[in-house]
Structure 1
Amino acid sequence: MKITSLAACLSCLLLTACMATGIVKSKLDVIEDAASCKAPASILIVLLPGAYDKPDDFVQQGFVAALRQRKIAADIVIADTHIGYYTSEHLVTRLHEDIVVPARNKGYEKIWMVGISLGGYGSLLYAREHGADIDGLFLMAPFLGNRSLLAEIARAGLSGWQAGDIPKADYDRLLWSWIKGYSDTAISTQADWPPLYIGYGTEDRFAGSSRIIEKVLPPGRVTTTDGGHEWLPWQHLWAGFLDRPLLPRCE
């Protein structure tokens, strides 16, 4: 079974015709950065890149430095979750077996998953299957599927939208049927729906999906900034997220 719906969406996302998907390995390549606190960090932040991005881009664009400048007591793992892991359906398995389970075994008390663009999609794919294994999600300008589905959901509103009978290969619809749980307070407070935070640029080409979700999340869970689908707005959104009292500082 292949991700036919996702593959079709990726063809729209990747506007240039040819792009290497990368080699799918038996274990994810990662970049790790440890907090320099006196005590070992009890929190792990897992960063997932966008479709065009490499793990080192998070370093080059100042994401690690921004966290360290604030003396946040969290370790970081940046995963090389390129498109090949999505289209081969290995993404969730590799994140779980290579990062999340080992992190729990090492004693991390909380794990946050942070994704940009396609990495936001991947973060939600993981949360749909293993929501109880992570403690929070922060998505920046998430790519969340094809435009026709988003228009369908927007017309009904997320809380009123009915997914209907979902074909096994319609991964976008399956994902949105899970996201809809955030519109139901009785469901969204369960462990399988970790707290969700979203940030996006007001001119971002994927802003529509974030606005759909924004209407059902608690106040303060969605932030915006000027700009489109590029690093400068994401840097501002990341800085704003780090300035929230969500993550502990070194003592």
Structure 2
Amino acid sequence: MPTRLDKSNCTADARTLLVILPGRGMNLRELEREGFVAAARSLGLAVDVMRADAHLGYYRDRSILERLRTDVIAPAQVKGYRSIWLAGISIGGLGALRYAEAHPADVAGILALAPYLGEPEMTQAIVGAGGLMRWKAPAGPLLDGEIAPQAWRSVRSVLLRGEASARPPLYLGYGLSDSLAPSHRVLAQVLPPGRVFTASGGHDWKPWLGLWQRMLAASELPRC
């Protein structure tokens, strides 16, 4: 999996890495052009930012978790990063949540921007069950193509993991007119209010940069 590393502008020896997973059809240059790297620098974060080219093909062949572990996370740990945060846009948010479920010890925090959480029928089922914490997540292997059950099972796993200190903080941002907003509202209900950010707009860059800046500013990422 190709990556691009942008070093912190306030320390040459950052020990925190923020890995950004793009949305469907996005490329690494786009993330820089739309201001996502500059936002971390302008806020004075003592973090290195890595853009990972986790494109749709990795999700389709179900290799996304293996490639993230082998190509991104493990090498970063070898290089001395002590804290690794995952950020994801749309399907990248799904990737971040699934990775945090599979490798909980690797992830210090999650920034999910308009995450794709599967088909709306599952969201409706969760609402009908009385919310995410009342919904019974399916156990055992899931059928190929069952994105929503896996997505929500990953969310529950991250939120309910053992002691509170073992749970990585999860921040959510989304546009109020986003077609995925119904699923985001379900997730928002089980997060602390201070970790939920909304803006006018839909599933596109216009609201995302402002949300990204606010999420970074509110996060527990180290400052210069």
Same fold, TM-score > 0.5, yes or no: yes
What's the counterpart of residue 161 of structure 1?
Answer: 135
Per-residue deviation, 1:131: 1.7
Residue 76 of structure 2 aligns with an amino acid whose one-letter code is A
Looking at structure 1, the residues matched to 219 and 212 of structure 2 have their Cα atoms a distance apart, in angstroms, of 13
Query: CA RMSD for the aligned pairs?
Result: 1.8
Per-residue deviation, 1:70: 2.0
Looking at structure 1, the residues matched to 219 and 141 of structure 2 have their Cα atoms a distance apart, in angstroms, of 41
What's the counterpart of residue 54 of structure 2?
Answer: 81
Asked if 2 retains the 8 angstrom alpha-carbon contact of 1:198 and 1:223, the reply is yes
| Residues 1:219 and 1:187: Cα distance change in structure 2 (over 3 Å) | farther
Which of 165, 181, 185 pairs up with 1:211? 185
Per-residue deviation, 1:114: 0.4
Looking at structure 1, the residues matched to 57 and 163 of structure 2 have their Cα atoms a distance apart, in angstroms, of 31
TM-score by length of 1: 0.82
Asked if 2 retains the 8 angstrom alpha-carbon contact of 1:128 and 1:175, the reply is no
Q: Which structure 1 residue ranges, 4+ long, deviate > 3 Å from structure 2? A: 164-167, 181-184
What's the counterpart of residue 32 of structure 1?
Answer: 5
| 1:38-85 deviation line (CA, Å, top 9, x unaligned) | 441111000011102111111000111111122211101101111100
Larger Rg: 1
| Residues 1:171 and 1:187: Cα distance change in structure 2 (over 3 Å) | farther
Which of 60, 79, 87 pairs up with 1:114? 87
After superposition, residues 194-205 of structure 1 pair within 5 angstroms as: 194-205=168-179
Aligned residues: 221
TM-score by length of 2: 0.92
Looking at structure 1, the residues matched to 138 and 91 of structure 2 have their Cα atoms a distance apart, in angstroms, of 25
Gap runs ≥5 in structure 1:
1-27
Residue 142 of structure 1 aligns with an amino acid whose one-letter code is P
Asked if 1 retains the 8 angstrom alpha-carbon contact of 2:100 and 2:158, the reply is no
Looking at structure 2, the residues matched to 39 and 31 of structure 1 have their Cα atoms a distance apart, in angstroms, of 17
Per-residue deviation, 1:136: 0.3
